[in-house]
Structures are given as C-alpha cells and as structure tokens.
Structure 1
C-alpha cells in the first residue's frame, strides 16, 4: 500500500526551511537547490508542492503574517482599550527573538513585494487588518478615558509607521532596538497623540 503523504505538512516544512534561509542569507541568497536540501527534499520534489520559488516566497511571507495574527489573537484575548492596543503592538514589534527573526524575513521579502503584486497585496491586507484592530482598541481606550482624545486615524498611521521602522532598525541595528526603547517609543506616541489631537 502506498505511503500517505500529508501535502499541507510538507508545504509547511518547505516554507519553514525558506524562513530559515531568508533569515540567514536574505532573499537573494535563497536558491531552489539549497531550499530543497534545507527542507530535506530533492530539488525536483519541491515542484510537487509549489509552482516555483515565487510561490514559496509568497507562502513564507504569508506564514510570517499568519503567525503574527495568531500571536495577536492569543495575546489580546478578551482585553479592550489601552491594554489591548499595547498587546497588538507588542506582537507586531520586534520585542522577542522570534519576532526579530520574523522582522528579518519580512524586511527581506519587502524588497520582492515592491515588484510582486501578489506579495504587495498580502502585505497591504495584513497591515490594513492591524490598523483596523489598532483603531478599534484606541477608540475603546479614549471612550474609557484610558487615553486622551485624539485623531485616531492619524495616531494609527503614526504608530504603524513607527512599528515598521522598528522592524527595520531591529534588523540593521539591534542594539538601538532594545525592548525598553521600543516600549518607551510606543507609550510616547500614545501619550503625545492626545496632546496633538
């Protein structure tokens, strides 16, 4: 009887191998031969699970975003307002070693997303979801008098831009992106936006 193959599990194994290689070498350092070896397959075997390198890279990018969303859901739980807003930000910011690794992967893949409309859409959809979640919790925090009144849309744009900047800083100069410095920046933005609103 032929051995049953878990197609989804093998795709995940390949995507995780792509993660590791992108984190180590950057996107330009990933080729199909090395990717197959890192995943434990022959080069030809990858074609059974993906249509080529572009599809693998897109799947790796999606996987980073899915993992971030999973952490956001688990962290926020039933929280509301300022506490929930900070938890959302904490899961996107490169505060842990795993989040810093994801930032390395995301920063490398943004280069490809500039010229790949599918990856650009994947990124923009994820950022749009994060902004909507931030907007909801920031509005709750204002209603609960946990944060001062402000233009929430402007605050969310500033916050998201700062977080993306922190991801880049964590990749290029990790010493400048300590946990304390990142959290202090987040809290300054939340407080300062109320004074500017």
Structure 2
C-alpha cells in the first residue's frame, strides 16, 4: 500500500526551513537549492508543494502572523479592556526568543513586501486587524475607568508604530530592547503619557 503523504505537514516543514535560513542569512540569502537541502528534499520536490520561491516566502510571512495570532488568542482569552489590550501588545512585541525570531523573519520579509503586492497585503491585513482589536480594547478600558481618556485612533497609531519599531530594534540593536524597557514604553503609552490625550 503506498504511503500517504501529509501535504500540509510537508509545506510546514519547508516553511520552517525557510524561517531558519531567513533568520540566519536574511531574505537575500535564501535560494531554492539551499531551501530544499535545509528541508530535507530534492530541489524538484519543492514544486509539488509550492509554485516557487515567492509563494514560500509569502507563506512564511503568513505563518509568522498566524503564530502571533494564536498567542494573542491564548493570552487574551475572554479578557476585555486594559488587560486584553496589554496582553495583545505583549504577544506582538519582541519580548521572548520566539517573538524575536519572528521579528527577524518579519523584518527580512518586509523588504520583499515593498515590491510584492501579495506580501504587502498579508502584512497590511494583519496590522489592520491588530489595530482594530487594540481600539476595541482601549475603548473598553476607557469606558471601564481603567485607562485615561485619550484619542484612541491616535493612541493605536502610536502603539502600532512603536511596536513595529521595537521589532526592528530587536533585530538591529538587541541591547536597546530589553524586556523591561519595552514594557515601560508600553505602559507609558497606555497611561496616556505619549501625547495622545484628548
């Protein structure tokens, strides 16, 4: 009887190999030959699971976002307001080794997103969804008296821009992005001390 092949598992294996190469060498260091070797397949075998390098990179980006969203859902659970907002932010921020690896991959893939509309869309849809959740939780926190009244739209823009900056810093200047300094910055923004008050 022929052995059944788990198509999705093979795709995950290839994407995991892409993650390792991107994290080690950056986006310019990935090619199909090395990727096949890293994944344990022949070069030609990759074509059974992906149409080419662009699809692999786009899928790698989607997996980073999916991993982040799974952590957010686990962390936030049924929480609302300030605790939900802080939990969401913490899962996007590069606070753990896993999140720092994802930041390293994301920063490399943003380079490709500048010229790949499909990859740019993946990024923009994810960021828009995070902003929407941030705004919802922030309004709940204001209504519940947990956080001071601020311009929520401006606050979300400051928060998201700060988090993206922290991801870049975690890759380029890790010494400047300690866990303590990141959380202090988050709390400064949420407390309304970052020029987002009404």
State the TM-score bracket (shorter-chain normalisation): over 0.9
Contact 2:149 2:197 in 1 (8 A): no
Question: 1:196 offset after TM fit, Å?
Answer: 2.5
Aligned counterpart, 2:125:
125
Aligned counterpart, 2:36:
36
Aligned counterpart, 2:89:
89
Number of equivalences = 197
Question: 1:114 offset after TM fit, Å?
Answer: 0.4
What is the TM-score normalised by the length of structure 1? 0.98
Contact 1:36 1:42 in 2 (8 A): yes
Question: 1:193 offset after TM fit, Å?
Answer: 4.9
What is the TM-score normalised by the length of structure 2? 0.98
5+ residue gaps, structure 1, are none
Aligned residue for 1:196, secondary structure, equals: coil
| Distance in 2, Cα, partners of 1:12 & 1:91 | 22
TM alignment of 1:1-197, pairs within 5 A: 1-191=1-191, 192-193=193-194, 196-197=197-198
Question: 1:2 offset after TM fit, Å?
Answer: 1.4
5+ residue gaps, structure 2, are none
Contact 1:147 1:194 in 2 (8 A): no
Structure 1 ranges of 4+ moved more than 4 A? none
Contact 1:150 1:193 in 2 (8 A): no
Question: 1:119 offset after TM fit, Å?
Answer: 0.2
Aligned residue for 2:78, secondary structure, equals: coil
